[in-house]
Homo-oligomer: A and B are copies of this chain.
């Protein structure tokens, strides 16, 4: 049994879904993870226009593509975040509204509930995304943090997301947080604390994306083993450290792709993610879901890259064994 390989459409939202699906189908992917932006998957039309969902299905079917998950990172980000002008750039107008931070956060929360409902309507049981965080800006504790404030950040997360997850669980859909800087959980410690804050309820798990672990020096395979019951979806994305004593691992306030950054996202297989160990860990926990390529590499043409990534995954995603070691040595 081979796991399906899908493409996450978030970085291709400038293309109409029809155009993208045609390319992706020809490249040989098994499916798409639809982003809830661009024209790829519109949460509201899915809930209100009877024909909309079928139109999406038709496009996918025409190109032999399945859909195992939809993703709404941008709206999810606004649920817990301290809102600033950057959110206006990535949020739909009806959520940004009058720009009042608390209003933005509440509208974003409602939209995430609708995202669960629209996924259910679409027949998809997985929604991936971000949570935002009210305490991210306290990352480096200077001026010295009052660490009770940090605890309040996890409580804020629980207060805002528990009602959202109520809807998810009611709809039979699971949320997969992409553990990532700027989210409530971005590493082992913060994932433990975030899960604790919501009593580790089953409606909330992870969309594992190993690329965000590399610049933190974290091991994705160990993460899979520790949080095995909450690995709900997997992104295939890579990252490379480029440290030479002059480039900071913190990124120097430089944009992705700048030569002087200490690390950058790269096409899968071109970076420091140990996919061999990652796939062995996924095999051990029995993960059977899609491997969804989230393609970002500012140094490579994306069409070349998406195909290169697919070929890479096809070559190394091995089938797990079913037999015991040395069983063939036994004489009986």
Contacts and interface: CB of A to CB of B under 8 A. Distances in A.
A305 B318 contact: yes
A248 B326 contact: no
A287 interface: no
A248 B331 contact: no
B12 A143 contact: no
Interface string A138-157: 11111111110110010000
A89 B144 contact: yes
A147 B252 CA distance: 12
A130 B280 CA distance: 31
Contact of A328 (B10, B89, B267, B330): B10
A296 interface: yes
A90 B217 CA distance: 32
A250 B139 contact: yes
Interface stretch (A46-54, A115-123, A183-191): A183-191
B270 A297 contact: no
Interface of A: 10-14, 37-38, 74, 77, 81, 85-87, 89-93, 135-147, 149-150, 153, 180-182, 186-190, 215-219, 222, 225-226, 242-257, 259-260, 262, 265, 267, 270, 276-277, 280, 283-284, 296-302, 304-305, 308, 318-332
A219 B246 contact: yes
A300 B143 CA distance: 22
Given A14-B327, A301-B320, A146 B85 contact: yes
A20 to B, nearest CB: 11
A187 B251 CA distance: 9
A110 to B, nearest CB: 18
Contact of A325 (B91, B255, B267): B255
Given A140-B181, A190-B253, A284-B299, 7 more contacts: A10-B328, A77-B143, A181-B250, A216-B248, A217-B249, A256-B325, A298-B325
A267 B318 CA distance: 10
Nearest to A285: B259
30 contacts: A10-B328, A37-B331, A74-B143, A77-B143, A86-B146, A87-B143, A89-B144, A89-B330, A90-B330, A93-B331, A141-B251, A141-B255, A150-B253, A187-B248, A188-B260, A189-B253, A190-B253, A217-B243, A217-B247, A217-B249, A218-B245, A256-B325, A270-B276, A298-B324, A298-B325, A299-B318, A299-B321, A301-B318, A301-B322, A308-B318
Contacts of A150: 253
Contact of A259 (B77, B250, B284): B284
The 7 closest A-B pairs by CB, nearest first: A219-B245, A187-B248, A189-B252, A86-B143, A301-B319, A256-B325, A137-B137
A305 B11 CA distance: 34
B329 A300 contact: no
Nearest to A279: B299
